[in-house]
Amino acid sequence: MIPESLLTRIQTVYPKHAAVIEAGLQVRRFVTLRVNRIKLSSEAFAEILMQRKVSFERIAYDRDAFLLRDVREDAVMQMPEYADGALYMQSLSSMLPPLFLAPQAGENILDMTAAPGSKTTQLYALSLGKALITACERDAGRFERLKYNLEKQGATRVNALRTDALQLSDFLRFDKILLDAPCTGTGTIEEGSRVRFSEEYLAKCVKLQKKLIEKALRLLKGGGSLVYSTCSILPEENGEVLRHAEKLGGKIVSVTAPADVPQLPAMDGSICVCPNERYEGFFLAKLTK
């Protein structure tokens, strides 16, 4: 059930798209997953699925991504490949930020709010384990989950720190930074999910997001890349935070969504994904300084 206050806000912000958004937040999404190329090739996994007669779809813009049509999460969790860390269940929207950050061997990369490790392990896999990744998580329980997923996925060279990224020394510098910011999660609502939303919670999230992007710009090398993302469709957490970053010297690097990704109106150069049965609602932007 979508809270009435959120429905009203969606109708105000997206008057021409409100019905589509509401429908997209009330469906049950397909199971999507990412093959961990450190442990298994996507071609080999496709062969495995065909042998098991599992209906699947490859995602054109991401060779590691699969959509499974007729199975749910529990069936994936019973696959031996999942137990071995060769698979990671992850939404297609969540896979976008690491793709746009495009980690390369030898780059010094920071994941500022890393737990549970979805994007951290994806960054590691995309670089074939050759990027130098630092992953921060301040919450003790979530940090343990991060460490578990790093180990299971074979991301052995990630420097996992149980710390608030805001406490990192300003003398540090990174080639690339991923800031997948804590948010209201308004894009992740789906059939049967519990929804937490209030104006107070939104204001708290925005305050933290602005602090984090300020810190990210201080830690980013000149000419480096920063990807900012949220699983929210609300402009306060997205465009407003970007405008704050611009005032501090951040420069928007225009990005274009892959052809199949459904979109909502967003700040020029950024991507706001419209929720549907394939995608969570999501926001992504790239900056440099």
- As given in the structure block, the two tokens for residue 281 are 């609602």
Contacts of 181 by beta carbon, 8 Å cutoff, 6+ apart: 113, 205, 208, 209, 212, 213, 228, 229, 230, 237, 241
Active-site position among 183, 205, 231, 272 = 231
Q: Could you tell me if 251 and 223 are in contact, meaning their C-beta atoms sit under 8 angstroms apart?
A: no
Annotate 31-56 with b (16+ C-beta within 10 A) or e (fewer).
Answer: bbbbbbbbebebeebeeebeeeebeb
Q: How far apart are CA 235 and CA 265, in angstroms?
A: 10
Complete DSSP assignment for 106-137: T-EEEESS-TT-HHHHHHHHHTTT-SEEEEE-
CA dihedral 199, 93, 31, 79 (to 10 degrees): -120
**Under 8 Å between Cβ of 284 and 96:** yes
Q: Which residue has the tokens 């061997």?
A: 105
Per this entry, what is the length of the chain? 289
88: which strand partners? Answer: 34
Are 259 and 7 in contact by the 8 Å Cβ rule? The answer is: no
Rounded to 5 degrees, what are φ and ψ at 271? -125, 130
| 231 part of the active site | yes
Helices 199-219 and 239-247: crossing angle, nearest 10°? 40
Query: Which residues are the active-site residues?
Result: 231
